[in-house]
């Protein structure tokens, strides 16, 4: 065999680098280091458990020649299992929840696996859930092996015997806190157990998401009601057997939006192309660091690659459509108007005016749009230059026609003390924001105003 070559792709799993974050952590005193598990050949840390769990299943006689591997997965474990199956000649059937990205489903099918998609918002015991469907398939398909990463303790053993020792060797134990997103419990428990044995003073902190029950259970010992969330691979609505809460010191809880925004920042500012759980982990690490009285060295495991979220987190339209707008929009409209030195005076026209009067007003004042008010001073419409040009040229409107014929509804009325975020969606649709104060129209905000605002002080 060629010198330096690996005998197969499975032997390339592991040895992923650890790098320091420099930009997204600039406002905290602690240092944050990340283990880039997306650099495994299958694109995630689940490559490790896929190979390890199946190796053990063969040794224990649970997976027999010609058998079918069955698993419920959020996608990444499926790839790890499928990669092992491709090398060893096994068939695979994977069951996914319908919130998983299209890329994950396509990846599994590309391996030749059969994929079954189940609804997300059902209880684990529901016969439609991907847990229940996975078990049913294993019960009905001859010579099949249900991996069950949630309750298969070889999941956490993978990280105890492989991932954690690798990190300890890389760092020589030179860190104070280890953090990872929680799902099946394998990573946080396996690594936590190993590090606690080697480093009695190390803190093990899990990152859970809003809607999950894991952090609440750790704190109270009670099973609370789970709620839906969009993050993939983080959080659970039940407690898998892989958890050993005695090795977990604390949890940080993060939300979908902040996680997705941080995921994009990791790419933009750190060059790290990772998945949504990575953004969640870094949000959690920053929150944890902000609570510390002294600076800490924090080591965070980043689970998977960003190429599985190209149609979601890294897609501007998807982010906008789902309300995950940049946190820069969390500024008061009044502050935007002040910085842009807007004059807080708006030219208006009454609803009994003519189109000719509106055109003359726009021409004389250099306006491109004018709000239309009724006799009571209420905003009833908006007349804009771009909506007048075509009908006037085509002869549809005459100068003495009432302005009501030319109303546009492409505007949103919002108080100046509200956040810019509240009009962001309207501005993205090229609508106009009519700004009021105590119910009185005081200004107009357009998409070009927002661009001017963000271009100031190097915001973009």
Task: For residue range 429-457, list pLDDT tens digits in order.
Answer: 767 888 888 778 888 887 778 777 777 65
Who wins on pLDDT, 210 or 425? 210
The residues, any chain, with a CB within 8 Å of residue 319's CB and separated by 6 or more, are 260, 264, 313, 325
Residue 236: predicted pLDDT: 93
Closest CA to 76 of 352, 399, 304: 304
For residue 202, give the 3-state DSSP assignment. coil
Confidence of residue 167 (pLDDT cuts 50, 70, 90): very high
In the chain, CATH 3.10.580.10 sits at 330-458
The per-residue pLDDT for 359 is 85
Is pLDDT larger for residue 362 or for residue 146? 146
Write out the residue limits of the CATH 3.40.50.1100 domain(s) in the chain. 1-324
pLDDT (average), residues 98-114: 86
In this structure, what DSSP letter does residue 190 have? H
Cα→Cα distances 402→165, 353, 377, 405, 436, Å:
78, 6, 18, 6, 26
pLDDT at 320 over 90: no
- Kindly state the average pLDDT of the residues 306-317: 90
pLDDT reading at 460 higher than 50: no
What pLDDT band is residue 342 in, cutting at 50, 70 and 90? low
- Quick one: pLDDT at residue 338? 80
Q: Does pLDDT of 54 surpass 80?
A: yes
Q: What value does the mean pLDDT of the chain take?
A: 89
CATH code of 330-458, in short, is 3.10.580.10
- Domain 1-324 belongs to what architecture? 3-Layer(aba) Sandwich (3.40)
Residue 232 clears pLDDT 60, i.e. is over it: yes
Task: Name the residues annotated as catalytic.
Answer: 46
The most confident of the ranges 31-40, 347-356, 420-429, 451-460 is 31-40
Residue 120 phi, psi (nearest 5):
-80, -50
Residue % of the chain over a pLDDT of 90: 55
């Amino acid at each position: 065999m060629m010198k330096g070559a690996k005998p197969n792709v499975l032997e390339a799993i592991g040895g992923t680098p650890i790098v320091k974050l420099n930009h997204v952590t600039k406002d905290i005193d602690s240092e944050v280091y990340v283990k880039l598990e997306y650099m495994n050949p299958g694109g995630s840390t689940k490559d490790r458990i896929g190979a390890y769990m199946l190796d053990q299943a063969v040794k224990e006689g649970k997976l027999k020649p010609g058998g079918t591997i069955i698993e419920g997965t959020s996608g990444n474990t499926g790839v790890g299992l499928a990669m092992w199956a491709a090398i060893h000649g096994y068939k695979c059937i994977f069951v996914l929840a319908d919130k998983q990205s299209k890329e994950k489903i396509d990846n599994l099918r590309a391996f030749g696996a059969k994929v079954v998609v189940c609804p997300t918002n059902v209880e684990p015991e529901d016969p439609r859930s991907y847990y229940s469907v996975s078990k049913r398939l294993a019960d009905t398909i001859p010579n099949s092996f249900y991996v069950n990463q949630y309750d298969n303790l070889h999941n956490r053993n993978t990280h105890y015997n492989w991932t954690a020792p690798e990190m300890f060797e890389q760092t020589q134990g030179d860190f104070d806190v280890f953090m990872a997103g929680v799902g099946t419990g394998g990573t946080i428990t396996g690594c936590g157990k190993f590090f606690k044995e080697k480093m009695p003073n190390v803190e093990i902190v899990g990152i859970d998401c809003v809607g999950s029950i894991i952090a609440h259970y750790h704190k109270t010992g009670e099973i609370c009601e789970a709620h839906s969330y969009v993050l993939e691979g983080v959080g659970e609505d039940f407690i898998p057997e892989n958890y050993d809460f005695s090795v977990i010191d604390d949890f940080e809880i993060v939300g979908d939006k902040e996680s997705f925004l941080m995921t994009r920042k990791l790419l933009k500012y750190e060059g790290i192309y990772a998945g949504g759980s990575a953004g969640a982990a870094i949000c959690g690490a920053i929150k944890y660091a902000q609570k510390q009285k002294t600076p800490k060295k924090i080591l965070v495991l980043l689970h998977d690659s960003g190429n599985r979220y190209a149609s979601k987190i890294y897609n501007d339209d998807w982010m906008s459509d789902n309300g995950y707008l940049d946190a820069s929009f969390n500024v008061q409209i009044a502050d935007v108007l002040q910085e842009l030195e807007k004059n807080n005076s708006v030219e208006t026209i009454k609803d009994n005016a003519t189109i000719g009067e509106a055109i003359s007003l726009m021409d004389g004042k250099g306006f491109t749009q004018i709000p239309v008010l009724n006799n009571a001073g209420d905003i009833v419409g908006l007349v804009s230059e771009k909506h007048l040009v075509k009908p006037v040229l085509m002869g549809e409107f005459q100068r003495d026609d009432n302005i009501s014929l030319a109303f546009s509804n492409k505007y949103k009325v919002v108080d100046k003390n509200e956040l810019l975020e509240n009009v962001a969606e309207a501005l993205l649709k090229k609508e106009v924001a009519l700004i009021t104060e105590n119910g009185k129209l005081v200004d107009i905000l357009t998409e070009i105003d927002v661009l001017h605002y963000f271009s100031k002080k190097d915001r973009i």
